[in-house]
Structure 1
Amino acid sequence: MTDETKKHGPDATAAENSAEAVASALEDAANANAESEAMAEVPAEPDPLEVLKAENAELRDRFLRLAADMDNLRRRTEREIKDAKSYSVAGFARDMLAVSDNLRRALDAVPTEMRAAADAGLTTLLEGVEMTERSMLSALERHGVKKIEAEGEKFDPHFHQAMFEIPNAEVPNNTVMQVVQAGYTIGERVLRPALVGVAKGGPKAEAPVSEAASGQKND
């Protein structure tokens, strides 16, 4: 028996051993926590398969976007080429229409009585002018230029330009009554609008009678 044991007895020794054990356990726990925290701070290595999947998805998305952009570019280019082919002659066609108008004015300047009594030379001249006018308009039509049929139609500001109004109560209001100068389109565009006179003072479209009002009237 040691002097310390003799001095304090067995209980003191046991308490001392127990305190040392608790301190050792606490130290071990602290070390374990420190190791756990250190391991938690170290980032986990990414899964190579998941990395490849992500890269593949990104490349596929880029490819689809590029394919869509190329398709849009192809369509836009085709449309621009088509428009260029269709409308490249617009200025020339407009000038030729002015020539055709002059030919028509020359023909209209000859009164009907004079044409009926014309000799062979004048008749041949008039027929030649008419043939030239028809040939010119036919050539323009082959290039997409078409005449706007306006007379008798409802006035449309997209295709017609009103020059004057004609009082007429027998036809619907805003009906084209007279064409001063023919209009033409090229492709889907208006090359020049038709200069027209429109009716004024005619009947307006009646509002449709509802079924409810019709039923009340019948009752």
Structure 2
Amino acid sequence: MTQNKQHDETQAHQQDEADIADLTDAEIAEAEASDQEAKAAQDAAKEAEPDRAEQLAQELASTRDQLLRTVAELDNARKRFERDREQDRKFGQSNFAKDMVTVADNLRRALESVPESAADNEAVKALVEGVEMTERSLLSALEKHGVQRISPAAGEPFDYNQHQAMFELENTGHPAGSVVQVLQPGYIIHERLLRPAMVGVAKGESTAKPQRVDTSA
């Protein structure tokens, strides 16, 4: 039995050798070419790996840059919105405030128009007290919303940012360029000029330097 097995193996080996011998030169060349193509494909794949990695890195950097730009644009838009909203909150009521300070002016004129001869009249007294209370309440409400009155005292330096000169007076006893009379008080809203105070100014050779205030808020 062992001899038969050995005989079969010998015949198979001889058949393989015969098959190899039967291969033509063209078939051998084709096989070698296929093997070379496979090796070339493997080499190309290995060479392409670094290029692909570099391409992915560039794409990642570009995407990251775009994301950072988008985040920056969103942050700037948010800041603009908050700034505009704050400006609207502070100064959106400017026209309404101008109307209210006109009411305050009329209340003050009403008080100043009361003749001294009527000061002892009880009815007039009660009326004056009521108007004064209304004026104080109105000014207090305006102050709560950032509106403050400008009423410079006599001798105070003229301020181009807050005062409007209506006339000049000589020999007033006050320094040249200073306020001598207030015709109408002015108002500011959150440090921005709402209406200048109308004043008379002392006339002289020298002019007092104005004290500037920030009106760009």
| TM-score bin (small chain) | 0.5 to 0.7
Matched with 1:63 is 67
Deviation at 1:114, TM superposition (A): 3.4
Distance 1:64 1:140, change over 3 A: same
For residue 196 of structure 2, the aligned residue among 190, 193, 198 is 193
Question: Which letter maps to 1:104?
Answer: R
Question: Which letter maps to 2:83?
Answer: R
What per-residue deviation string (whole Å, max 9, x for no partner) do you get for residues 107-139 of structure 1?
A: 111233532xx2211111111111111111111
Which runs of structure 2 are paired with 1:1-219 in the superposition (5 Å)?
A: 47-115=51-119, 118-151=120-153, 152-168=155-171, 171-201=174-204, 203=206
Distance 1:51 1:181, change over 3 A: same
Deviation at 1:202, TM superposition (A): 5.4
Q: Is the 8 A contact 1:160 1:183 kept in 2?
A: yes
Where does the alignment leave 5 or more consecutive residues of structure 1 unmatched?
1-43, 206-219
Question: Which letter maps to 1:129?
Answer: V
Deviation at 1:168, TM superposition (A): 4.2
Q: Distance in 2 between matches of 1:180 and 1:93?
A: 20
Q: Is the 8 A contact 1:170 1:202 kept in 2?
A: no
Instruction: Tell me the TM-score normalized by structure 1.
Output: 0.65
Q: Is the 8 A contact 1:165 1:197 kept in 2?
A: yes
Please state whether the residue corresponding to 2:176 is helix, strand or coil.
coil
Question: Which letter maps to 2:71?
Answer: A
Regions of 4+ moved over 6 Å = none
